[in-house]
Chain A
Amino acid sequence: MSEADAGTTWAASSGVAGGTSTAVEPRRDEALPVLAITLNVNGRERRLEVDTRTSLLDTLREHLRLSGTKKGCDHGQCGACTVLVNGRRIYSCLTLAVMHEDDEIVTIEGMGEPGDLHPVQAAFVECDGFQCGYCTPGQICSAVGMLAEMDAGWPSHATADVSSPPIALSDEEIRERMSGNICRCAAYPNIVAAIRVVSEGRPG
């Protein structure tokens, strides 16, 4: 199956408005606006046609068949759909695929693979950081993004004095910074342990 036909089969329609923006008008004979876009996912260019309404989450799962990213709530309330966009963690359910051309998208499939796990993946295995595993891809992507935020010196709600860096990654900080990822199995203690293992094993 080719990438472009994995999802919608509607014909692409495009029109270009002059000046400072490009627009796609719905075709008269078909009420559904479809856009041809190119996404960079896990280092690969993926060309596809999507209904403008398609969330990044549905695009990854249904069009690109990258089903590692999970749908929990579809409303920004659980974190299961967390992916990295340009190195930052976001919820893929509350963003549109058409908004992400030229962005670098990394999903759990791009983190590592059996035999060559990302350190955060390895730590989740080592520390038993999951039970059913449904929230895990989101937890791992979120943890990777969160550790980069720590490296950048970002404060959190657990930071006693936001005006005075540096901030140490205490368990309280880990819990607060990971609060955007709900685990229905409540594997939280081992998720915190896994992240602590990774942060302690890193230089600096």
Chain B
Amino acid sequence: MRSFTYERATDARGAVAAVSRPGAKFISGGTNLLDLMKLEVERPSHLVDISRLPLTDIEELPDGGLRIGAQATNSDTAADARVRTHYPVLTQALVAGASGQLRNKASVGGNLLQRTRCPYFYDTAAGCNKRDPGSGCSAIGGFNRIHAILGVSDACIATHPSDMAVAMTVLEAQVELLDADGSARRVAVTDFHRLPGDTPHIETVLRPGEMITGVVLPPPPPGRQIYRKVRDRASYEFALVSVAVIVATDRGTISSARAAFGGVAHKPWRSVEAEAALTGHPAAMATYRAAAEAAMRDAVGRGHNDFKIELARRTLCRTLAQAAQATEAG
């Protein structure tokens, strides 16, 4: 690990001011950043510790929504009674991620900004446009079983590994940001992460030095919420494919539907194509298959990850069937 200086911020303004110096980075739970610093994939020269900032509250908003502070741990967020009752897809996604020990450290802000698990990104001896722009992509033509099938470019086929962000996508969450000059703004979580394009090293719309202060969930939409994660082992493993859905039915017809995938793209992937194929159609397997076809119409495999296309289709169908069945029953 490269050497760095360390300071602990005590308020949000102080933190964004402190991180404005060259080579500085925020550290929150540290579970992703320190992993990458040990391998010298990340090489900050100064760390601004934001883990003790008073941004841990989860509070109800006047409009019926919920605001989750950036420093709320993944554990506390998952266990919050309001999240469990009104946004169960978020609890399901959080508890499907990482392990108990990691969730106790992982913060909402850090989870959104965790970096890809592409093994070539971790291997400093390999070419990787994300780690070292212009050095090529070792995954294209390499071992790419865990890589993306949607929204890819010739520069990078990495996926975003977060489960939490996929649930937040169907919940239409907004990310709250604080800039170094003290100005605040909100960005929809769907617009927060970027596709790789020619610049896979730029992963979000975050400006240099900007800090995530919280995530705002609008009032929960009607319908049953489900997160389903498919992975190589039953626990403590990243998704090969995951699906988050919110489905409402009315006398056998789907009255509203939201669907997003994890593990398939450089960002949590909301499928407006699938949603259009569902809304107003019968809650039946033929509809789910049509939605799955629509969702994967533009999918491209690179060899080892070809199986993900069919896996994503089937995972969506199964999750939709489960959600629709439950809404009819309830």
Contacts and interface: CB of A to CB of B under 8 A. Distances in A.
Most chain B beta-carbon contacts within 10 A, residue among A79, A82, A162, A177: A162
B235 A32 contact: no
B1 interface: yes
Interface of B: 1, 3-11, 13-15, 17-18, 27, 29-31, 34-35, 37-38, 47-49, 51, 75, 78-79, 84-85, 88, 91-92, 95-96, 98-102, 104-105, 234-236
B9 A90 contact: no
A96 B6 contact: yes
Most chain A beta-carbon contacts within 10 A, residue among B7, B11, B31: B7
A180 B100 contact: yes
A177 B100 contact: yes
23 contacts: A17-B7, A17-B18, A20-B10, A22-B8, A23-B18, A25-B5, A26-B3, A33-B5, A35-B6, A52-B6, A53-B1, A53-B37, A74-B38, A94-B29, A96-B6, A96-B47, A98-B49, A162-B92, A163-B84, A175-B235, A176-B234, A179-B236, A180-B98
A200 B213 CA distance: 42
Contacts of B98: 180
A88 B38 contact: no
Contact of B84 (A32, A91, A146, A155): A155
B105 A91 contact: yes
Given A21-B48, A90-B101, A96 B30 contact: yes
Per DSSP, chain A at the interface is loop
B14 A179 contact: no
Interface of A: 17, 19-26, 31-33, 35, 51-53, 55, 74-76, 79, 82, 88-91, 94-96, 98-99, 142, 145-146, 149, 152-157, 159, 162-163, 175-181
Contacts of B47: 52, 96
A154 B49 CA distance: 27
Contacts of A94: 29-31, 34-35, 102, 105
B5 A52 contact: yes
B95 A155 contact: yes
